[in-house]
Structure 1
């Protein structure tokens, strides 16, 4: 925050020095009707005229639309932080803080007392604490008095043990098709995801306005669509320009999310003019080789591979050179949270977090500011090269950021028949405490299973690989909710690949803390996956 303050003060000083120079410049150049030669000394710092000057910037208080405490057990106490920020352009003066309902307010990050003023860009962190006397729904309101001219009393609703429909859109504001070929249909997607914890969320596309070149490519979304907690769907939007030029439109979406029932996503696109710079992608991995997308290409890789991406082969037919690049991850497997390492440099990279298909797109601009007519598209097919590949991922709706270092912990287990169904015990259970057990022929590594990642803070993945399984053997696959770390219920997905192909998928199994799920069995050498789908309060 200190850096922000110094930057703001330095900006004010720079504007003050600029104002002095501007006054001096006007005084020197304003010579109409003046004597050309004079011995009179001029004091540039003494104003010739006096007048009123008013800075019209205003303070603007901002914070979250609501604070969800999540599920709190009877007798349990949970705290969450909420940040209130001055996003305006003038000093924000804070008055009385009040809290309603069975919530407590404190300011441990500010020595117990909140600041009374916030410079532009500054924030104050309040801690909201709730102690559950029962598991009933609890509501409250945090209100802050300030000199914001539009919101003199700023309110944040507070909820604990509460649930209601919640819809997230990605992108939330605008879909940009960029440059599209004339006479062809370009596709983009709006991801609609339920951010509710338990309740279903419903939505529908009510209309598309603006240019006729935009269209909804799947009319099922004009009717009501229901999403279970954490589930998501892709709304396909088409853009079909017939002539060059710029086009604008909007998608209107209505949902039962009470805080934002009506959403508008703007649409933009351009019909291709003439010669455009041509993006080219080179994808490379030292073990898998390379592939070129000009404009299309494909490279087969293995889960957990790092793929280098290079845009240096891109060209401009007009000869002006490439001045800017933009990478985009257009598609990735369901439940993947991994993104591109760099979106604006000539080189980038992508980690193959999960098995499945990734599509990387590249747009380039030439020195004249003309964007590529269509992106280069590199398809990366992440296929396991093991006989058996087991993938575990999970979603915890109450965890606001599943990619940080705080989250729930679910573990994958692969059990050898010699264990006699005694889970969670070496040597016949492959899991986080026994990641590379010696199975099959003693001392031979090529027939041993291995757990490649033990993810302890949310979402996954965790993968177990087994090559050269033992014949006439049936393996057991399970998942254990080791700890919810106070984030509550998770929805667990297990996928089993046989010979690189998806053979079985069990999606979004609701699991609570320390429950065990016997998912399925794998028979070898047939490769048949037999569903079990049995949930226990702990290890059976």
Structure 2
């Protein structure tokens, strides 16, 4: 059998002369040879081998390949053929006869099965000596040859057509790689040649924007046994940029899957890949005023997000769908439901952390793209929360019992009455250094309803009174909510954004453009109203990402202070980095007695 013959062909080799055919041949030969006047008592056997030499072709290396009907031994004589011995010369060969016959009837034939186990990719031969009772040919020699065949490779399909693929959902298709040969196939590498670069060498194309990808296991540096297959999954995620790179609207996207191996028939197998594209509307989500895809904002301020710049390359109609894809774990905000299918939406951050508003724009065929607008509440956000100790006396009252009490009774009986304060102390600063708001900066004004209100210009969010109304203490907390730190103006000033005087928090301090140095975070048990031991914990966010957690730590009574963390700032205010460490002592001593009585 030659290269490319199938297993089926191998098993059929030598089967062209069936016993029935042998019978016809034998009767014909007998009738030709018969001399009716001959003494029929002289009955003899006459051996014949078909084919006279046997070529088993390429077979699987290191496998017991059983070839049924490899050849036939026939008897043209009038007496039974008795086979005395079968001998392979040399004896130490990869060939073996499987239960060869020892008798063949007159005018009959018997098939012979051969097992061939080639140890490697090579040619092998042996001489088979058959000794029988044929008086004319006592010993018949039959050449027997075969080879350990090489591996071969085949891809199904030979070329991959994706058809029409929607941008957004994309599509995944498979290619079956089969070793159709006779030895282990060593796959050196399998890769995509490069978007739009048929036949390119591996690594010669920048694939950073390649819309095609292999998403199945990497078959590089693996082996594929003979007659076995592996499936390669290829994904197409088309983009507008990819279509432009391919030639513009209407252009097909092309790739080539390459398999480098030691296959005898195709050491470099190439499978062309092509896909047509239905482009999606190109989603754009920006903050309304700045037109940026990110914004840094104070807690409690509304952010308007605009998607009206979204456009459709092919001119198809499309719809909007907004979602809040990320928010702090404890946050309870969401997007206004009435805006979810409109071109604009809004969000009011309620906690420090990162918020991501996502716009998905979809056409009628289901093609879509998404755009994110990121919101974070300052460069640094410190969040303090707390909860009552499970063994506190107030835990003996259930929620139902507390709900049935009057407001005054709840405040003196039920859990949740503690007041913890969060302090951020700047480098070289002092706990309790609140500074003073200059005289005349707290003014009485009339609001829009005509009612008198006090306006604290030291806590203003603008720089209108930066030269005259600023509180410069080094401890940012309840008594110094918006101190003047660093350079003049609000650009790098900390702020107590959330202050909770009863409950479980949170309290939130934020800071933008921090100056270098070591900042201290301190938690102080300001007011214990009912004897309520409390566990406190802090979380620190950097540009919206949670970077550090500390606690919970038990503060068992009023006046206790926990050195929650050291925050070490290195580098410039805009490009620096943070490191976080625990304070050497968990609890502080010598805490000012009037720390929370300012």
Compute the TM-score of the two structures, normalised by the length of structure 2: 0.33
Structure of greater Rg? 2
